[in-house]
């Protein structure tokens, strides 16, 4: 009998119940008990949904983040919160979110301000975890209370439990040694705590424990590889069976190491690592369970069940009882329930599966393997029909777009002249001062803007009324920028809900869910648009707004677009063609928009690529291939304009060292980046590379309400001027201003403009 299980279930709730409960608790509008009750209800509901599985995950639920939960389980609290006397859950939120001193309602030392833990991306997903903090002195101490409580609840519910832990080696790898000590040196201190935890779970009658070690799909040096051997030898005597889980990619050169670790079972991602599976089976010691992740836990498409069965049936013959099936990874990365979608186009809906539907697919697969395909014939036939319909749909396949893609020439990705020649023409035309000032695009999204948008969506405000409201905002924004004396203006993006969704809504080939929320961090969720078909742009998307803005001013108005790589990386994208192909289709659509902007007289066009870096594959060996098509896509969007049209791009992060060559290869005339928090240090990468084009290093942090001083900005820019020639420097904030208030934006930008004037006079 092939067993089925799950690695983790989305905890946010089909209606984002956890989000709202957390936010209400944080705002003091509900009690801790109410929050805990809601948490318990969600866990119960989710186990209920998984009750058809042979075992359900326990401990995958977290109020904020599963890595932070693990830190608390291991007693690894940051030094600064150790002597907190209040409730443990509150202390947990202190680490997760930080707490400012003035919000403390208690003069007690323990309630003074505390910095939040650092947050970073969970592998190549859009989920963010709280980074464990280490030092050479770190000690661990087991606190199994959370797990035991959840285990008790699950047992009471009568489901077969499989506790889920982050494995010791991955746990260390995810963290950061604050004193630059060797974090791997903590392994001998950490392993006894894991052993004690496994003993504790065994005493509760647990048979299997899932221990996640996803770093096994990344490139590991010998020291880290050896750590696996050390760790799992030491845990081998524990009285539970370990299912070592890897996901998000291939084991590749770690395959033999992983196959031979002394654990009872191994889970691998058979979607992203399918090439690994057969060689792995050959290497797998007799008796070891192999769990294959055959349902994609990272996208929202139905699985082709018949094709998976064709592949699985011989493996099931070979492995017998040793074969288990699961989603490829935790379902944390997909929305909860397709059944909640009321408005989604019925045809597109028939091609999709969210978490609940994916578990049903899993059940059908196991029934087919265990009882023969005839036992689920109706389901398999329906699945085949849906897969075929999607494959053949005219809404998915547009021959004209396939032809356009085939017609991409190298010239299309090439500006007419090199930057140095373009720059001369742009200077002559734009007549900008030295240290020109600009902003990144958005201005405050005020309550009035949001109200107008929601009234328009609900039909309370007609299109004319909505447009008038947005035009009024744009006019205000232009007026304010002129009054401030900025050099290159923007229209302010009032009409945009989100920088990806706004474009997705206007492109053919996109669909939108109502409740397809996925947790990004804590209570924050994103609702990625669904890119299902060949992409085309039926009509211009931004010309009306930006043309209107330009009509209000004699200064250059910067057109504002989102780039193809960012649109791709922030969408659920199709799985029936390579991402590179989808990206180039997006690039062709954005290219048309760029040319239309140019044709109505917009001489400066910014194409945001905020998510270019986050699309980097997990393995460095695959980086270049990604960067090649990502950069080419960007260049396709810009390659059609004249030399006089100045192309900007913007990226809101600060690690450029390892991708600087690709950034330069994008050949934007100017790039604006985030630098203020790093004190301009990241300009080093640009200096060492001799980055040839213009740069606007962000001079103040827009995430903070603080108003920067002109003096500080002058100091930062003077530092920048040591790395980059002054004629290639721009002065701008770190990122868009949409989350700020006007009364913060005006004084901050006034300081920035004043700083630019000082710089012009002195440098």
Active site residues: 703
**Residue 608 binding result from ligand GLN, Zn ion, none, given CB thresholds of 5 to 8 Å by partner type:** ligand GLN
Which of 187, 100, 728, 61 lies closest to 423, judged by CA? 728
Q: How far is the CB of 440 from ligand GLN (least distance, A)?
A: 4
**544-583 footprint of ligand GLN as x/- string (CB under 6 A):** ----------------x-----------------------
∠ CA 480-557-633 to the nearest 5 degrees?
A: 130
Q: How far is the CB of 488 from ligand GLN (least distance, A)?
A: 13
Pick from 242, 499, 616, 631 the residue near ligand GLN by CB under 6 A: 499
Site for Zn ion in 724-743 (CB under 5 A): 735
Q: Does 416 count as an annotated binding residue?
A: no
**Residue 326 binding result from ligand GLN, Zn ion, none, given CB thresholds of 5 to 8 Å by partner type:** none
DSSP 55: B
Select 361 or 493, whichever has its Cβ closest to ligand GLN.
493
Return the SS3 of 476.
helix
* Stretch touching ligand GLN by CB under 6 A, among 239-247, 313-321, 350-358, 734-742: 734-742
Q: How far is the CB of 567 from Zn ion (least distance, A)?
A: 15
Provide the pairing of β-strand 323-327 with 289-295: parallel
Q: Is 652 in the site for ligand GLN (CB under 6 A)?
A: yes
Placement of tokens 């053919």 in the chain: 508
The first and second tokens of residue 130, run together, are 């709280």
CA atoms within 13 A on the CB side of 242: 28
- Please give the radius of gyration of the chain, using alpha carbons only, rounded to the nearest integer: 27
**Residue 560 binding result from ligand GLN, Zn ion, none, given CB thresholds of 5 to 8 Å by partner type:** ligand GLN
Q: Does 674 count as an annotated binding residue?
A: yes
Q: Is 441 in the site for ligand GLN (CB under 6 A)?
A: yes
Q: Are the C-beta atoms of 695 and 725 separated by less than 8 Å?
A: no
Site for ligand GLN in 587-616 (CB under 6 A): 608, 610
How many binding residues for ligand GLN (CB under 6 A)?
13
E strands along 586-630, which residues? 604-608
Select 441 or 504, whichever has its Cβ closest to ligand GLN.
441
CA distance 65 to 519: 10
**Residue 729 binding result from Zn ion, ligand GLN, none, given CB thresholds of 5 to 8 Å by partner type:** none
Select 357 or 672, whichever has its Cβ closest to ligand GLN.
672
> E strand or H helix at 295, and its extent?
strand 289-295
CA distance 362 to 53: 9
Chain centre distance of CA 538:
29
387 φ, ψ (degrees, to nearest 5): -65, -45
**Strand partners of residue 32:** none
Q: How many residues does the chain have?
A: 763
**Strand partners of residue 492:** 442
Q: How far is the CB of 656 from ligand GLN (least distance, A)?
A: 15
Q: How far is the CB of 523 from ligand GLN (least distance, A)?
A: 20
CA distance 523 to 679: 30
Q: Are the C-beta atoms of 604 and 645 separated by less than 8 Å?
A: yes
By beta carbon distance, the residue nearest ligand GLN is: 736
The first and second tokens of residue 15, run together, are 């209606």
Q: Is 440 in the site for ligand GLN (CB under 6 A)?
A: yes
Select 297 or 698, whichever has its Cβ closest to ligand GLN.
698
10 Å Cβ neighbour count for 128? Answer: 18
Select 574 or 740, whichever has its Cβ closest to ligand GLN.
740
Select 77 or 440, whichever has its Cβ closest to ligand GLN.
440
Select 653 or 689, whichever has its Cβ closest to Zn ion.
653
Q: Is 396 in the site for ligand GLN (CB under 6 A)?
A: no
The first and second tokens of residue 664, run together, are 């330069």
Q: Are the C-beta atoms of 241 and 209 separated by less than 8 Å?
A: yes
Q: Does 545 count as an annotated binding residue?
A: no
Q: How far is the CB of 343 from ligand GLN (least distance, A)?
A: 27
Select 81 or 746, whichever has its Cβ closest to ligand GLN.
746
Placement of tokens 């896509």 in the chain: 633
Placement of tokens 């006079």 in the chain: 761
Q: Is 114 exposed, middle or buried (0-12, 13-18, 19+ CB in 10 A)?
A: buried
Residues with Cβ within 8 Å of 447's Cβ and at least 6 positions away in sequence, in order, are none
Q: How far is the CB of 651 from Zn ion (least distance, A)?
A: 7
Q: How far is the CB of 126 from ligand GLN (least distance, A)?
A: 13
Select 47 or 545, whichever has its Cβ closest to ligand GLN.
545
Q: Is 650 in the site for ligand GLN (CB under 6 A)?
A: yes
**Residue 683 binding result from ligand GLN, Zn ion, none, given CB thresholds of 5 to 8 Å by partner type:** none
**Residue 164 binding result from Zn ion, ligand GLN, none, given CB thresholds of 5 to 8 Å by partner type:** none
CA distance 450 to 495: 9
> Given its phi and psi angles, is residue 247 left (phi above 0), alpha (psi -120 to 50 degrees) or beta?
beta
170 φ, ψ (degrees, to nearest 5): -60, -40
Q: Does 441 count as an annotated binding residue?
A: yes
Q: Is 399 exposed, middle or buried (0-12, 13-18, 19+ CB in 10 A)?
A: exposed
Q: How far is the CB of 702 from ligand GLN (least distance, A)?
A: 9
* Stretch touching ligand GLN by CB under 6 A, among 166-174, 328-336, 396-404, 437-445: 437-445
Q: Is 652 in the site for Zn ion (CB under 5 A)?
A: yes
Annotated binding-site positions for L-homocysteine: 440-442, 493, 608
By CB under 5 A, name the binding residues for Zn ion: 652, 735
Known binding residues for 5-methyltetrahydropteroyltri-L-glutamate: 16-19, 121, 524-525, 570, 614
Which residue ranges make up the annotated binding site for Zn(2+)? 650, 652, 674, 735
Residue ranges binding ligand GLN (CB under 6 A): 440-442, 493, 499, 560, 608, 610, 650, 652, 735-736, 738
Please enumerate, by residue number, every residue annotated as part of a binding site.
Answer: 16-19, 121, 440-442, 493, 524-525, 570, 608, 614, 650, 652, 674, 735
């Amino acid at each position: 009998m092939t067993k089925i299980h799950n690695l983790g279930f989305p905890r946010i709730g089909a209606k984002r119940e956890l989000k709202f409960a957390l936010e209400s608790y944080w705002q003091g509008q509900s009690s801790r008990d109410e929050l805990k009750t809601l948490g318990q209800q969600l866990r119960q509901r989710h186990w209920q949904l998984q009750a058809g599985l042979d075992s359900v995950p326990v401990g995958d639920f977290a109020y904020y983040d599963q890595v932070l939960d693990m830190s608390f389980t291991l007693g690894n609290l940051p030094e600064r919160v150790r002597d907190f006397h209040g409730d443990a859950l509150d202390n947990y939120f202190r680490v997760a979110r930080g707490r400012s001193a003035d919000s403390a309602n208690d003069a007690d030392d323990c309630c003074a301000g505390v910095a939040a833990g650092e947050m970073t991306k969970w592998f190549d997903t859009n989920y963010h975890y709280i980074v464990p903090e280490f030092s050479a002195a770190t000690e661990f101490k087991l606190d199994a209370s959370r797990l035991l409580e959840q285990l008790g609840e699950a047992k009471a519910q009568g489901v077969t439990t499989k506790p889920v832990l982050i494995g010791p080696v991955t746990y260390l790898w995810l963290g950061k040694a604050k004193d630059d000590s060797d974090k791997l040196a903590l392994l001998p201190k950490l392993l006894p705590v894991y052993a004690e935890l496994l003993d504790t779970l065994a005493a509760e009658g647990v048979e299997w424990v899932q221990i996640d070690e996803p770093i096994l799909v990344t490139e590991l040096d010998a020291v880290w590889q050896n750590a696996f051997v050390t760790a799992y030898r030491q845990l081998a005597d524990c009285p539970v069976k370990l299912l070592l889980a890897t996901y998000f990619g291939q084991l590749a050169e770690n395959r033999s190491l992983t196959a031979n670790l002394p654990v009872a079972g191994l889970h691998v991602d058979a979607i992203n690592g399918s090439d690994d599976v057969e060689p792995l089976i050959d290497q797998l010691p007799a008796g070891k369970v192999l769990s294959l992740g055959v349902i994609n836990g990272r996208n929202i498409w139905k699985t082709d069940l018949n094709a998976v069965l064709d592949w699985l049936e011989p493996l099931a013959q070979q492995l017998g009882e040793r074969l288990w099936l699961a989603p490829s990874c935790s379902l944390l990365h997909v929305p909860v329930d397709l059944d909640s979608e009321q408005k989604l186009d019925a045809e597109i809906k028939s091609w999709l599966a969210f978490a609940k539907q994916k578990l049903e697919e899993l059940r059908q697969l196991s029934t087919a393997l265990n009882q023969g395909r005839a036992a689920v014939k109706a389901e398999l036939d329906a699945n085949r029909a849906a897969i075929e319909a999607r494959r053949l749909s005219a809404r998915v396949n547009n021959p004209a777009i396939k032809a356009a893609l085939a017609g991409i020439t190298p010239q299309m990705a090439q500006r007419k002249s090199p930057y140095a020649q373009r720059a001369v023409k742009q200077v002559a035309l734009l007549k900008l001062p030295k240290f020109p000032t600009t902003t990144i695009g958005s201005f405050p999204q005020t309550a009035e803007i949001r109200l107008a948008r929601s009234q328009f969506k609900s039909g309370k405000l007609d299109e004319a009324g909505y447009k008038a409201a947005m035009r009024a905002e744009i006019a205000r924004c232009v007026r304010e920028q002129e009054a401030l004396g900025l050099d290159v203006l923007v229209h302010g993006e009032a009409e945009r809900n989100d920088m990806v969704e706004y474009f997705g809504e206007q492109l053919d080939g996109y669909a939108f869910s109502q409740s397809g929320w996925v947790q990004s961090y804590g209570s924050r969720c994103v609702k990625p648009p669904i890119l299902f078909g060949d992409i085309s742009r039926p009509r211009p998307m931004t010309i009306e707004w930006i043309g209107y803005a330009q009509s209000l001013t004699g200064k250059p108005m910067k057109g504002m677009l989102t780039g193809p790589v960012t649109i791709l990386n922030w969408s659920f994208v199709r799985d029936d063609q390579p991402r590179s192909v989808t990206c180039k289709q997006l690039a062709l659509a954005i290219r048309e928009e760029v040319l239309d902007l140019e044709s109505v007289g917009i001489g400066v066009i910014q194409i945001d690529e905020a998510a270019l870096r986050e699309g980097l594959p997990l393995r460095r060996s695959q980086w270049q291939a990604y960067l090649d098509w990502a950069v080419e896509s960007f260049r396709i969007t810009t390659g059609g304009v004249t030399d006089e049209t100045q192309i900007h791009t913007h990226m809101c992060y600060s690690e450029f060292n390892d991708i600087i060559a690709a950034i330069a290869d994008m050949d934007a005339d100017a790039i604006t980046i985030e630098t203020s928090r790093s004190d301009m240090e990241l300009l080093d990468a640009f200096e060492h590379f001799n980055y040839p084009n213009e740069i606007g290093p962000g001079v103040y942090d827009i995430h903070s309400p603080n108003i920067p001083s002109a003096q500080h900005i002058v100091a930062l820019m003077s530092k920048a001027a040591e790395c980059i020639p002054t004629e290639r420097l721009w002065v701008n904030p770190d990122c868009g201003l949409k989350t700020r208030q006007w009364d913060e934006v005006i004084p901050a930008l006034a300081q920035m403009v004043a700083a630019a004037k000082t710089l012009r006079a002195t440098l």
